[in-house]
Structures are given as structure tokens and as C-alpha cells.
Amino acid sequence: MNANTRKRLLSDFESLDDGLKVAIAGIDSPLKLGLAALMLAKDRTNVQWLTSAEISKALERAGVAVTPDRLEKALARANDRVSRRRDGDEGSYSLMTKGRMEVESILGVGKISVSYVEGDKPRTARRELREILGGIRGVIRICDPYYGIRTLDALEMLHEDCEVRFLTARTTENPARLQGPLKDFRQERPKAELRTCDDPAALHDRYVLSDSALLLIGHGLKDLGGKESFVVTIPRDLAPDLLDDVREAFDRRWSKANPV
């Protein structure tokens, strides 16, 4: 693993939401801790292989202490829950489907979740949105028919390493007033791009699509907190075909869209 990937992995584990950290801390089996870490590394950082030492350091960032030796002994008896390979003098591990099935329920992932966002509580809504968006990684595709200055605030909640593609149609704000904030946003977030769809009528759903999940949003990112809303999270392993179809439709529109 190169230095940049290692840094990103440790940062991702350190920024896990508190509920997930508590769930990890409640695991008393070194084997299940190792499986959980392998799953999170794969889903959050797209790291497929980890040594026991790397797993130990990642878990430490999440507030859990377990030595590489204990992990090594536990993973040695994981059988077909992991795959193994040699990297020089060290062995590394990759999570298999059986291993994922064993820890998903413990961590509360692998199932549809619904977050309720109360109306007239914008500060609470932004905090909840930050927790949701801050935990996703990879290429992030966002479809939202309307955008404004608060949209940029929401996009800044995503991890700066993410490649963000925001597809929209129109703004209800003064376009001239948006030019300054847009310029500042592009300078600070070069991996994020905003485009407007050539057929605005085609955009009516609001969603965030990552490599690992589809988030359905009841209101636009800029409006969360103004009215009651829900954020429904559908993990990839529950509906892989759906996520693939959504990605293909998004990419078709994105290729024809115009930069904001």
C-alpha cells in the first residue's frame, strides 16, 4: 500500500460516524474485528488487501485497540471468509462474501436505512447531512434539479478526495450572485464539477450515488431542514442492478450536460 492510500485509509477510519465506532468497539472477537475492518476498508476506501498490521492501525484510528499478532492468529482460522496472499514477508487479507455476511448485521450495514430530517431545524439537518455525506467515498454522482449557494455548502461536506459529479438543471437564485461562490468553490474543490442537463424535464429525482450505496433524498441538498424530509440509503449488495442502472442513466445525461 502506498503512502497516500495508507493516509486515506487511516483518515477514513478516524472519520467513521460515532454509531459505527461504537458498534466496532462492541465486537469482542479479534476475528470479527478483522473482518469488519476489511469490509470497511473495501467499502469506504476501496482498499482490497490489508496486512494484520494495517488492520490494527486502522482500527486504532476508530478507537479500538487490537494487536497485529491477535489479528494474525484470528484471520489464520478464518477459512473461506477471507482470501490470502503473500506480500514479501507479510501476508495480507481480502474479505470474501461469507466474511461480509458475518459482520454486516453487527455493524448495522447491508440493509436499507432511513434517516428522518425534521422541518424548520436547518442546523440539525445540516449536521445530520454532514454525517451522511462525510462517510461516503469514491466517485460521487449527485442528481438534484435545483442548485444554489447552499448546494455548495452541502458539497463541501463530502470528503475532499472524492470525485464529485453534480448534475442539475436550474437555479432559483440570481445567477450573477452565484458566480463568486462558484469560483471560490472550484478553486478549493477541483475534484468537484457541476453541470446542467440539456433536458431539465428529465431531472425529477434527487439522489446521491456512491460506489457502495444509493441515497434517495426527499428534498434538494440546499433545502434540507426547511421542510421535513427523509434520506433513504440502499446498499449496493441489496440492489446491485438498480445502482448500475442509475449510474448508466446518470452518465448518459452527464456526457451531454454543460458545465455550470
117 in the same domain as 97: no
Domain CATH for 137: 3.30.870.10
Q: Which of 54, 73, 107 is the last residue in one of the domains?
A: 107
pLDDT in tens, 115-145: 777 767 777 777 777 777 877 878 999 999 9
pLDDT in tens, 46-87: 899 999 999 999 999 999 999 999 999 999 999 999 999 987
Q: What is the pTM of this model?
A: 0.63
Domain CATH for 92: 1.10.10.10
Q: Which of 82, 107, 132 is the last residue in one of the domains?
A: 107
Q: Indicate the number of domains in the chain.
A: 2
98 in the same domain as 9: yes
Pick from 109, 34, 98: which is nearest to 64 by CA? 34
215 in the same domain as 98: no
243 in the same domain as 146: yes
pLDDT in tens, 2-26: 889 999 999 999 988 777 888 899 8
88 in the same domain as 200: no
212 in the same domain as 99: no
Q: Which of 72, 107, 142 is the last residue in one of the domains?
A: 107
99 in the same domain as 51: yes
206 in the same domain as 120: yes
23 in the same domain as 100: yes
119 in the same domain as 99: no
91 in the same domain as 125: no
The rounded mean pLDDT for the chain is 87
User: Over pLDDT 70: what percentage of the chain?
Assistant: 95
Domain that includes residue 245, residue range:
113-259
119 in the same domain as 167: yes
Check pLDDT > 80 for residue 36.
yes
